[in-house]
Amino acid sequence: MKELDKITPLEKDFSKWYTDVVKQGNLIAYGPLKGTLVFKPNAYGIWEIIQKELNEYFKEYGVQNVYLPLLIPERLFNKEKEHIEGFNPELATITKVGDADLDEKVFIRPTSEVLFADLFKNSIESYKDLPIIYNQWANVVRWEKTTNPFLRSREFLWQEGHTCHNNAMEARQYTRSMISLYAKFMKNFLAIPVIIGKKTPKEKFAGACTTYTVEAMMKDGRALQSGTSHYLAQNFSKTFDISFKNENNDREFVYQTSWGVSTRLLGAIIMTHGDNRGIIIPPRVAPVQIDILELFGNKNEKVKKVANDLKKQLSRTFRVRLDDTDKNPGFKASNSEIQGTPLRIEVGPRDLENNQVTIVRRDTLEKIVLPVDKVKQTVKQLLVDIHNNLYMQAKYRLNENTVVVLNYDEFKNQIKQQKFVLAPFCCHDEQEELIKEQTGATTRCIPKTVIKPTKNAPCITCNRVTKRFVVFARAY
């Protein structure tokens, strides 16, 4: 039986804390190849619920799920120049099968724009075939140099949506709809508030015209890009010759979008809500929402009966797990906490003398002693409360740690304090590069709706007056 090891306090060493949490929480194991991960049941369970719930959201937008190949022949990938340049250094390349050499290199997809382009080219004839709104859930490989579980690994899981439209306005609107959908999903299911905005030209996706992003703030103040939505315009359709006959019977290139979220979201959950006892999983995506613990159940028939009755009753509405092992009560409680189960119900002989059980909240650690017949309705309300509490805490933290600055000295000072900094900025590539070198901060986004202190202000680096206010932060 594996022992529960200690977790480093997050105040002491945030990155060590993170590593401890993912290893201890039944979340990951390291794969045999450096930089790869095993998603254990607690992590994969969250991802399965994210898939299910996002699919429901997608349905409202007419999304159809498909699955495209893992492997991309070199000639196809090389067609879009900017795109290949953005990905080439990280491409895992197959050159052999068994002992035989291949005639042409084959890449493992780092993303699937070119595969979708190839599919669309052969599927579209007239404006009546549009829009096409496809999404796939898939694994992708990017050979990163430094890796970190969920945040940056050589293989990760994601969804990537790819759409074709017969006009630019509809495609642009779709791009924005999807980034709003991600923000709403993160709020409603992950209890994570985000800042929505556009990426600067330097930070946008290789091949996109515009990239929108949702940026979340982790407990150490660093930013995590949590989802993106790209307006590709006709960049890929012109290169790959994806055209349609419009209503005037003229050929025209389609307008495209792509958008995705990945298993990074698991990292976002951990670093937004976790504490020194481990991960806290927001109730709506928790694979186990309620742990029922039998305390001394092997010596007490009534404990066994009540625990099993509760399991049966609550399983109709909630995701419930029963711990009926002979481990000691302290171990059982720690085990539930370290795995981040939102609620646990302790069924013990002493409480049962008064026909009561104890419910413990994972977020506040508050204990509630209550009669057995009140459990169901209480649990329902508590799960809602936990979600709201997690969200409000994260929202408060985001607001408290986002500051406006109007000059570069103050900028450096605030970045040093791990704040999100909103500053007037011209968005020149070379200045962005300089700021990154000097402070470690990158532009996160040009937020859409944000309260600016003034309409215009001098850029923090070049002093030219601009109306652009940009969010900077150190980021994962």
Interface residues with its own copies (CB under 8 A)? 1-2, 29, 31-33, 36-41, 44-45, 47-48, 64-73, 76, 88-98, 105-106, 108, 115, 118-119, 122-123, 125-126, 128-129, 134, 138-139, 141, 143, 154-155, 157, 325
Contacts of 249 (CB under 8 A, 6+ apart): none
Contact status, residue 199 vs residue 443, Cβ threshold 8 Å: yes
* Three-state SS at 132: strand
| CA 458 to the chain's CA centroid | 34
Give the nearer residue to its own copies in terms of CB position, either 51 or 276: 51
Q: Could you tell me the smallest distance in angstroms from the CB atom of residue 127 to its own copies?
A: 9
Contact status, residue 108 vs residue 66, Cβ threshold 8 Å: no
- The conformation of residue 199, written as its DSSP 8-state character, comes to P
Task: Provide the Cα torsion 190, 194, 197, 200; round to 10°.
Answer: -100
Closest listed residue to residue 44, CA positions, set 203, 359, 307, 266: 266
Give the nearer residue to its own copies in terms of CB position, either 139 or 454: 139
Q: Could you tell me the smallest distance in angstroms from the CB atom of residue 344 to its own copies?
A: 19
Q: Could you tell me the smallest distance in angstroms from the CB atom of residue 298 to its own copies?
A: 14
Q: Could you tell me the smallest distance in angstroms from the CB atom of residue 82 to its own copies?
A: 16
Buried b (16+ CB within 10 A) or exposed e, 349-376: eebbeeebbbbbbbbeeeebebebeebe
Give the nearer residue to its own copies in terms of CB position, either 47 or 469: 47
Give the nearer residue to its own copies in terms of CB position, either 28 or 209: 28
Q: What is the total residue count of the chain?
A: 476
Contact status, residue 424 vs residue 460, Cβ threshold 8 Å: yes
Give the nearer residue to its own copies in terms of CB position, either 30 or 408: 30
- Rounded to whole angstroms, the Cα distance separating 88 from 77 reads 10
Q: Could you tell me the smallest distance in angstroms from the CB atom of residue 62 to its own copies?
A: 11
Give the nearer residue to its own copies in terms of CB position, either 214 or 314: 314
Q: Could you tell me the smallest distance in angstroms from the CB atom of residue 262 to its own copies?
A: 13
150: left (phi over 0), alpha (psi -120 to 50) or beta: left
Q: Could you tell me the smallest distance in angstroms from the CB atom of residue 322 to its own copies?
A: 12
Give the nearer residue to its own copies in terms of CB position, either 157 or 372: 157
The amino acid sitting at 142 is R
Give the nearer residue to its own copies in terms of CB position, either 41 or 349: 41
Give the nearer residue to its own copies in terms of CB position, either 155 or 351: 155
- What number of other Cβ atoms are within 10 A of residue 65's Cβ? 14
Give the nearer residue to its own copies in terms of CB position, either 68 or 403: 68
Contact status, residue 473 vs residue 221, Cβ threshold 8 Å: yes
Q: Could you tell me the smallest distance in angstroms from the CB atom of residue 369 to its own copies?
A: 31
Give the nearer residue to its own copies in terms of CB position, either 89 or 453: 89
Q: Could you tell me the smallest distance in angstroms from the CB atom of residue 355 to its own copies?
A: 32
Closest listed residue to residue 474, CA positions, set 298, 291, 249, 222: 222
Asked whether the CA dihedral 225, 227, 231, 234 is positive or negative, the reply is positive
Would you state the structure tokens that stand for residue 216, as one six-digit string? 């979340």
Contact status, residue 200 vs residue 432, Cβ threshold 8 Å: yes
Largest CA distance in the chain: 81
Give the nearer residue to its own copies in terms of CB position, either 157 or 293: 157
Q: Could you tell me the smallest distance in angstroms from the CB atom of residue 329 to its own copies?
A: 17
Q: Could you tell me the smallest distance in angstroms from the CB atom of residue 5 to its own copies?
A: 13
- Rounded to whole angstroms, the Cα distance separating 286 from 217 reads 21
Contact status, residue 470 vs residue 200, Cβ threshold 8 Å: yes
Task: Provide the Cα torsion 313, 315, 318, 319; round to 10°.
Answer: 150
Give the nearer residue to its own copies in terms of CB position, either 119 or 471: 119
**Strand intervals (E) in 281-434:** 290-294, 320-323, 343-347, 356-361, 367-371, 402-404, 420-424
Q: Could you tell me the smallest distance in angstroms from the CB atom of residue 233 to its own copies?
A: 23
Q: Could you tell me the smallest distance in angstroms from the CB atom of residue 275 to its own copies?
A: 25
Contacts of 50 (CB under 8 A, 6+ apart): 189, 261, 265, 285
